[in-house]
Amino acid sequence: MQIAFFISSHGFGHATRAIAVMQSMIQQRSGLIFHIFTTVPEWLFRESLDCFIYHQQLTDVGLVQHNALQENPGQTFEELSHLLPYDPGLIASLSRECNKCALILCDIAPLGIAVAKECSLPSALIENFTWDWIYQPYFAIEPRLQYYAEYLDDWFRQATFHIQTEPVCLPCKADLSVGPVFRKNQSEPAAIRKLFPANTKKSVLISMGGVPLDLPFLKSLTSYSNIFFIVAGTDKTWQLSKNALLLGQNSGISHVDLVSGCDALICKVGYSTLAEAYQAGVPVGYISRKRFPEAEILVNFIERKMTGTAIGEEEFLNGKWLGKLPELLSMKRGPVMKKNGADQIADFLLARLAKHKYSV
């Protein structure tokens, strides 16, 4: 059976959530082949999946960012104006590529819903927010975003199945609501810890997701010789000092394995990083984003269901957060979560395919 997956390239979070769903579907049913449409790099999918065909295709603009912590509403409007409204020729072309598929999944690129409609195929929207909701706080800065918010909202509403994943930003009467979705580990935590020098007692992972950010405090890490720091998602892999390793994005080590293997995580609040920390029970030092509306929802989830401490944006960039490490590293680690929302999604989708005989 062939299934198409249209994935937003806003950071890596939508792609890693999509990977988790594909992992679970493949585990439950052999012979699945996924057609992945996105501009997220192919290597990210190769880390966790074998049964897929990669199509480099801009499927979604999302929210353009200056860096990992700052958004650019004006540039977002400019890029949306090049993609929307959808070009009928593009829809027709993508429909021909998907015409042997049984289902089209979207996280959270509604282009896939438009293609599914053209192909007369069922579609499934997987989300904890949609772009029309995200754009609303930016209307005061860039009013022209409202037109595109309404356009995208119309497409989101046309999905055959609507699946929401906790932490949900705007709960609705979805066809399915599930807990956090996270990728399966490729390695055991003990194997990851073998990468750390024997003379360091604790390890701290610093991760900003898939969007670059300058980190002025890096040299300060060398003062904490009894802690081993891993900085994930840099432009290349290099050893900053005996106790600090910078890992390039395509390092060959899965981010979910790094999260499971560390003693504390310092991160920007983002869905997939949070979900991976939740499943591992690792304490989190989290940096929120003032305007990005999802941030408040994620922070609330951390405060209710996880262990951690808030770090201000300025405090993070100037390195003062390092003073909070003793507190963070002394926090009790939570339980490892076995229940994965991805498995629930796979159950739901495969049952619907079997019931309605959508398979090709």
Q: How many domains does the chain have?
A: 2
The more confidently predicted of residues 123 and 251 is: 123
Is residue 346 within 8 Å of 27, Cβ to Cβ?
yes
Could you give the CA distance from residue 288 to residue 355 in angstroms, rounded to a whole number? 43
Domain holding 39, by residue range, is 2-183+340-356
Residue 332 scores a pLDDT above 90: yes
Residue 200 scores a pLDDT above 80: no
**84 shares its domain with 36:** yes
Q: In percent, how much of the chain has pLDDT > 70? A: 97
**154 shares its domain with 273:** no
* Entry pTM: 0.95
**169 shares its domain with 205:** no
Residue whose tokens read 């609303």: 136
Nearest partner of 60 among 122, 102, 19, 11, judged by Cα: 11
The helix or strand, by DSSP H or E, that contains position 53, with its residue range, turns out to be: strand 52-56
**142 shares its domain with 250:** no
**291 shares its domain with 237:** yes
**194 shares its domain with 174:** no
**200 shares its domain with 174:** no
Assess if residue 334 is contained within a domain: no
> How much is the pLDDT for 191?
83
Nearest partner of 197 among 237, 236, 234, 226, judged by Cα: 226
Burial (CB count <10 Å: 0-12, 13-18, 19+), residue 313: middle
Residue 359 scores a pLDDT above 60: no
**193 shares its domain with 156:** no
> How much is the pLDDT for 360?
47
**320 shares its domain with 349:** no
**159 shares its domain with 220:** no
**8 shares its domain with 107:** yes
* Three-class SS state of 110: coil
CATH of the domain at 6: 3.40.50.2000
